[in-house]
Structure 1
Amino acid sequence: MTSFHRFGCSALLALGLAGTAQAETPRAAWHAQIAHGYSQLATATAQFESTATDYCQTPSPASLLQLKEQWLAAFSAWQAVRFVGFGPIEENTRAWKFQFWPDPKNLTASKVDYWLNSDKAISAEAIAKDSVAVQGFPAAEYLLYDERITATDKALPAERSCALLSAISSNLDSNADSLSADWAALEERYLSVADYDNGTLQSAMQSLELMADWRLAGPIGARGNGKPNPYVADAWRSGQSLNTLHASLKGLSDYFVPGLNLLLAENDSAALAEQFNQQLNKTLAHFDQLPADIAPLMATEEGQKSLKALLDDLNATKAMLTGPVSAALSVVRGFNSSDGD
């Protein structure tokens, strides 16, 4: 895995302790950490938009590489806050506007192809009014990586491809800015409604379930019909499916764990917090020895074993949060974040 996505366990623990020390309550820690994550997303999408504009004005192989790197940085920033499934992200299908997934019918490709083959004027405003399948990171990934584009006369920096990429990146930046602002505006309510403890915990649980059951087990054939299918993974076109999974898990460690540690300490369960941290860090450590993508590992028996070992630890992390941690905190499933009940 590239050094860009590596994050040592000691650094993760230090960040968790720093977040814990700076906040007085679990929800204050959660709100502050998630706010930081959303701010990072807004910054990264702004840089992606700027890089796309620069590339289309003065294209070169080096600037295309820089554009791909900035796409990955922005997409990883989204992955880090993807566990937040309540609050402003629920409004107006915002999550799908960042990442339309799963996409079993390949609607992303269909919508991008439609715009490239159309004579309609391309703008961020027009894209924002169209399907979520053409608005987010996967649509940009399709333009940057898919051979249906890159091996044809539509390859960047073709005029309409550049216009569409610029519109998508601008739309992503606008959505990230508004999401960050709306999360900040939620602060008073979030801190005053006790049931947001449940909502935040459930959101993290659901995120781990999604990671284990769908984002990893699905592609490697450990669920469903048992047949591996790397094309159902995140970021399969760019070959970054494990990097994005790592970014999501790291996001939980950065933005969720500090508040969880506080809440468990309040409930006389500091030892359980330490156990969960150890299990999470054990899972994160797998990525130090893994490549960026699932697909090459599926080609060898040794690679398959390494993916199975990762899945085992990811399942163990999920089981600890949904089991003993949930029990210690009396988590009630079924939280409705729209009304705080």
Structure 2
Amino acid sequence: MFRPKLLFTGLAALALGACSPQDQQAVTSAAIAKQVILPTYSRWVEADRQLAASALAFCQGSQPLDAARADFLKAQRAWAELQPLLIGPLAEGNKAWSVQFWPDKKNLVGRQVEQLANAEQPVDAQSLAKASVVVQGLSAYEYILFDSKPEMADAAQKARYCPLLSAIGERQKALAEEILASWNSADGMLAQMTKFPNQRYADSHEAIADVLRAQVTALDTLKKKLGAPMGRLSKGIAQPYQAEAWRSAQSMNSVRASLAAAQTVWVGVDNKGLRGLLPGEQKALADKIDAAYATSMKLLDGNTRTLGDLLGDEAGKQFLNTLYDSLNVVHRLHEGELARALNIQLGFNANDGD
């Protein structure tokens, strides 16, 4: 016998299920993976492919130093954009250190680059992959292009560094391609952030929690990247050589690129970011986080000075303190109120103990 009341009840249950928070989190997880993270990884791969080609061209004499440096800065920016998105294979096994070694408190980069450059047997990409992470990535590449004075070098000195420069380019290209292929594999991160349950996530809530943890860690790291050279971690004594990219004078640009990437995860494409998971009654919190990002981005967009230059006078130091405090607001809102609103237990982050 047809029972319209039962049918209506069943349809209502289906409608409610379609709008359930769990489903919304699945939609958001998939959107962040496809529309934010994967395109950023793809740009990183392209930048590292160009880096590898650039190293060869520079070493063969067909590319000037300025062009080689410009290609490095593109790779460095692509890496900065990726740092708030470090979930999955790149966040495991210290792989991120193979891309960039920071902090370098004892100038290990300079010392180990010189050791390899002076070795009897020139390094190649295969042997470099087995070497210390200190010399595998962008920090060592930056040292060669900006700190070894290649613009004043004779052919013999350039020949000393070029095998390592080319090996780093190839190493970064291979690593980036490997990570992207892993993301796109049948049971890789893209699939794991799209369909639940899977071997990594029991449900979409776990995936969203992973995204937020990466955000919180990255925002905390941004504070450290300012705080260390400012002296906040060394009794107020400025430590300019503890800046992330002091050799290329790009530390402030890297901070901006990382913060912009974090903001993209928050806002999402078509409002399918973490912000869209907050219910209507949490509008005040969403507005508060929007305002915090806007404050930090306005400070960064209005700045034209390098970090080293800013550390050189009181006005610069005051600006850095203001910026640090603004980043702290963004970080604490994610770590505290946003995590609670999304019912996420963060636990320890990757920086704990540093």
Report the 3-state secondary structure (helix = DSSP H, G, I; strand = E; otherwise coil) of the residue aligned with 1:202: helix
Q: How does 1:189-338 map to 2 (within 5 A)?
A: 189-191=192-194, 192=196, 193=201, 194=204, 195-212=206-223, 214-258=224-268, 259-265=273-279, 268-291=281-304, 293-334=306-347
Q: Distance in 1 between matches of 2:249 and 2:241?
A: 10
Cα 1:91–1:313 change in 2 (3 A) is closer
Q: 2:55 aligns with which of 52, 57, 68?
A: 52
Q: Distance in 1 between matches of 2:341 and 2:315?
A: 38
Give the match for residue 27 of structure 1. Answer: 29
Cα 1:313–1:335 change in 2 (3 A) is closer
Report the 3-state secondary structure (helix = DSSP H, G, I; strand = E; otherwise coil) of the residue aligned with 2:278: helix
* Contact 1:283/1:313, CA 8 A, preserved across alignment: yes
Q: Distance in 1 between matches of 2:118 and 2:301?
A: 42
Q: Distance in 2 between matches of 1:119 and 1:149?
A: 20
Give the match for residue 170 of structure 2. Answer: 170
- Structure 2 unaligned spans of 5+: 1-24
Deviation at 1:42, TM superposition (A): 0.2
Over residues 150-204 of structure 1, what are the superposed CA-to-partner deviations in whole Å (9 max), with x where a residue is unaligned?
A: 6655887x11312211110111011111111212222222232331211110110
User: Which amino acid is the alignment partner of residue 318 of structure 2?
Assistant: K
* Contact 1:41/1:74, CA 8 A, preserved across alignment: yes
Give the match for residue 20 of structure 2. Answer: none
- Structure 1 unaligned spans of 5+: 1-22
Over residues 238-257 of structure 1, what are the superposed CA-to-partner deviations in whole Å (9 max), with x where a residue is unaligned?
A: 11111111111111123453
* Contact 2:122/2:164, CA 8 A, preserved across alignment: no
Cα 1:336–1:229 change in 2 (3 A) is closer
Deviation at 1:263, TM superposition (A): 1.9
Give the match for residue 42 of structure 1. Answer: 45
* Contact 1:89/1:95, CA 8 A, preserved across alignment: yes
Comparing 129-138 with 250-259, greater Cα deviation is found at 250-259
Q: In terms of Rg, which structure is larger? A: 2
Cα 1:79–1:236 change in 2 (3 A) is same
TM score, norm. by length of structure 1: 0.84
Deviation at 1:30, TM superposition (A): 1.7
